[in-house]
Amino acid sequence: LTKKPLTGKKVLISAGPTKEKIDPIRYFTNHSSGKMGFALAEEAQRLGADVTLVTGKVSLSTPVNVKRVDVTTAEEMYQQMIKHFQDKDIVIKAAAVADYRPITTYDKKMKKQPGNLVIEFERTKDILKELGDIKTTQYLVGFAAETNDVINYGQKKLQDKNLDAIVINDIQAEGAGFAGDTNVVTFITSGGIQKNIELTTKNNISKQLLMLISSDLKDDTK
């Protein structure tokens, strides 16, 4: 029997949206379904890895033999990613994290007032950037959801956040990005490898991404 490519590797994946509370009834979020991150977790486990999945609120069942940690807000996702980061070999951030949260939240339902409503937001932590700052041996992979000039913005995130690789999805391309079962991505490593993966299921994309990551990992240890 041939050894699976990720046997012995510890993989940490984030998935899904974050939800930022305004009051007990209302919150800010985004369109992430968690499918991309869950597909990565499932395929990484199939390829032999020991997988931990930190996820925002989604309605997906946990892939077999994957350790799941549920979170709601960007701050909770940050805490759990930091907690599980140290001993991992590969860390992939497929989650769609809120960049802003309301400064004031209410424990009781906000009542309607005459006129317009203004809500002030503050920045959340950039989890990926913080992980890039503290990483030692971890192979760190970010995602970028862009609508224009996708490769340039993606490459900028790769450098600014000290990543080993980035997966760029042009969320306006047919069949790509949020919520559906398919995606179209470009994978770029800090070493300059660039690979386009054409329209296919998120599971297929995940398998291909993990194989690319696995071979880039091997190159690093040469």
Distance CA 10, CA 86 (A): 10
Q: Are 12 and 93 spatial neighbours (Cβ–Cβ below 8 Å)?
A: no
| Residue 74 engages ligand PMT in binding (rule: CB under 6 A) | yes
Which residue blocks in the chain are alpha helix, DSSP H?
35-46, 74-85, 127-134, 150-160, 202-220
203 counts as catalytic:
no
CA 13 from centroid of its chain's CA atoms: 7
Q: Under 8 Å CB-to-CB from 222, ≥6 apart: which residues?
A: none
- Is 35 a binding residue for ligand PMT by CB under 6 A? The answer is yes
Give yes or no for residue 95 binding ligand PMT (CB under 6 A): yes
Binding ligand PMT by CB under 6 A: which of 33, 73, 206, 214? 33
Closest distance to ligand PMT from the beta carbon of 127 (Å):
3
Amino acid identity, residue 205? I
Q: Contacts with ligand PMT in 143-162 (CB under 6 A)?
A: 143-145, 157
In whole angstroms, the minimum distance from the beta carbon of 109 to ligand PMT comes to 27
197 φ/ψ angles, rounded to the nearest 5 degrees: -115, 120
Choices 87-95, 105-113, 186-194, 208-216; region in contact with ligand PMT by CB under 6 A: 87-95
Does position 169 interact with ligand PMT (CB under 6 A)? The reply is yes
Helix 74-85 with 127-134: angle, nearest 10 deg = 20
Please report how close the Cβ of residue 212 comes to ligand PMT at its closest, in angstroms: 15
* Token pair recorded at residue 213: 């990551």
Catalytic residues: 30
| Binding-site residues | 99, 109, 143, 157, 161
- Residues engaged in binding ligand PMT (CB under 6 A): 16, 32-36, 74, 93-97, 99, 124, 126-128, 142-145, 157, 169, 177-179
